[in-house]
Amino acid sequence: MKNKKILSSIMGLILVILIGLSTGKIDKLLLNITNENNKKQGSEVDQDVDEGYENVENLKTKSIEIVATGDVLIHKEILDTQYNSVTDSYDFNNNFQYVKSYLEGADLSISNLETTLAGKENFGYSGYPSFNSPDSLADAMKSSGIDVVANMNNHALDRDVKGYRRTRQTLVDKGFDVIGTRGTTEDKRYILRDVEGISIGITSYGYTMTATDNQRGLNGIPISGDLLPLMNTFHPNDINQDLKNMKEQIENMRTDGAEVIIFYMHWGDEYELEPNAMQVEIAQFLTNEKVDIIFGTHPHSLQPIDILTSSDGTSETPVIYSMGNFLSSQRTERIQNPYTEDGVIVSVNITKNLESKEIIVETPTYIPTWVNWYKKKDKLFYEVVPASLNDAEYLTEEGKIRVVESYNRTKGIIEKYNDKIKLKE
């Protein structure tokens, strides 16, 4: 046995030397082994060889994880529960407590804020159909690990222009990168984030419909002429021009040094379980333009993840057509639709070869989530939980049954289009 170990050590050392000669790092490799031997006297040589080999690989590549979630919708029921009458304040931290580790554990986390932060003085706080939430919601999202917030959605004007501007500025003041909108026409329509040495370009676009005087609008509210240039929008009647605008931003991001490009889209038909024709058209266009990842929101129900191939056949782009609701009070008891209880945290690993600069975007994986609902001290609490756990102590007996139902619904929808899509381990 001892002779076999010695032989293994010699062969391993030869392997390290060959790797070192091919990479030009033989001195560093040998120094690595020497240092390890000095630290651990009497350790096996073959262990040092393994560690030296791993160090070579680590020197050559860098990997990061990006995660994204769907809609954060704060309905009246959630506002009522999170209000503390003694302190006259709101606290939303418990809403995210059971999924916080997944968000803050990633290198970059993106979510959609589908409410305004217009201030209590702007007609008070409320849920559907005109959303307005306390600033402490942003604090809780930040504390949970969310880094980037999309606020270009159909509720962006729920408190008119003043509410729109205050929402965006509050998010910026709280330390978020904001996508989908910009503060002035001098600002870029996208953000660039250096994530562990990898330059990530991120932008967001939201659908609009026709309002009065043939203007683009959100939920029937016309977007004023001075506000429209600050929003990244698309419209069915002008889709060709809007796609050209998206292409321009892709080119601008690349010129600015983006190595990975992400589009976060607010699109689709509410409560539908599959993408509509426009979602598919936009997704294929972005794929042809070599966008690296497409995240989708708005339907308030999940839609499949697919991997599209560019028209020239040289690249692939994962598209998550809808990540569903992340947090809301939409559920079977209220709107007779169980699909609104389900969501996903989508995870995408990106690896960069530091020598060749090649970027590899891996196949997305996902964590199914479910909005747990339980009663405590005459209040109904809504908390996002991982649907893959069906025996957690925070679940009621009914919750243990329903979280399994949610898990099965999610798996059936998310993996429907492509057999490469798997749960995150």
Q: Which of 27, 70, 33 is nearest to 345 (CA)?
A: 70
> Both ends of the chain: CA-CA distance in Å?
36
The answer to whether the beta carbons of residues 337 and 271 sit under 8 Å apart is: yes
Rounded Cα gap, residues 36 and 41, in angstroms: 8
The one-digit pLDDT tens for each residue of the chain (425 residues) are 433 333 344 444 444 444 444 444 434 433 344 444 444 444 444 555 455 444 555 679 999 999 999 999 999 999 999 999 999 999 999 999 999 999 999 999 999 999 999 999 999 999 999 999 999 999 999 999 999 999 999 999 999 999 999 999 999 999 999 999 999 999 999 999 999 999 999 999 999 999 988 899 999 999 999 999 999 999 999 999 999 999 999 999 999 999 999 999 999 999 999 999 999 999 999 999 999 999 999 999 999 999 999 999 999 999 999 999 999 999 999 999 999 999 999 999 999 999 999 999 999 999 999 999 999 988 999 999 999 999 999 999 999 999 999 999 999 999 999 999 999 98
CA 91, chain centre distance (Å): 23
Domains within the chain, CATH numbers bracketed: 2-43 (no CATH), 64-423 (3.60.21.10)
Q: What are the CA-CA distances from residue 163 to residues 134, 156, 207, 258 (Å)?
A: 12, 8, 19, 32
Please report the pLDDT score of residue 269 as a whole number: 98
Phi, psi angle pair for 186, to nearest 5°? -80, -20
Structure tokens at 171: 């998010």
Rounded Cα gap, residues 409 and 412, in angstroms: 5
Rounded Cα gap, residues 403 and 101, in angstroms: 19
The residues, any chain, with a CB within 8 Å of residue 222's CB and separated by 6 or more, are: 211, 212, 213, 215, 216
For the stretch 262-278, pLDDT in tens is 999 999 999 999 999 99
The answer to whether the beta carbons of residues 116 and 133 sit under 8 Å apart is: yes
Structure tokens at 304: 């499949």
| Residue 24 φ/ψ region, left for φ over 0, alpha for ψ in the -120 to 50 degree band, beta for the rest | left
What is the value of pTM for the model shown?
0.87
Q: Which of 203, 197, 224, 205 is nearest to 213 (CA)?
A: 224
Please report the pLDDT score of residue 58 as a whole number: 62
Beta pairing class for 365-376 and 316-323:
unpaired
Torsion of the alpha carbons at 138, 93, 90 and 340, rounded to the nearest 10: 80
Which residue is listed with tokens 């560019």?
A: 310
Coil, strand, or helix at residue 181?
strand
Say which DSSP state 276 is in.
-
Counts for the chain of helices (H) and strands (E), in that order:
12, 22
Measured over all CA atoms, what is the biggest interatomic distance in the chain, rounded to whole angstroms? 87
**DSSP one-letter string for 286-320:** HHHTT-SEEEEE-SSSEEEEEEEE-TTSS-EEEEE
Rounded Cα gap, residues 138 and 171, in angstroms: 7
Give the number of C-alpha atoms closer than 13 A to the C-alpha of residue 423, restricted to the C-beta side.
13
Neighbours of 163 (CB within 10 A): 22
Q: What are the CA-CA distances from residue 242 to residues 13, 206, 253 (Å)?
A: 58, 11, 17
The sign of the torsion formed by the CA atoms of 357, 420, 100, 327 equals positive
Omega cis (within 30) before 129: yes
Q: What are the CA-CA distances from residue 150 to residues 147, 171, 179, 206, 389 (Å)?
A: 10, 10, 5, 10, 29
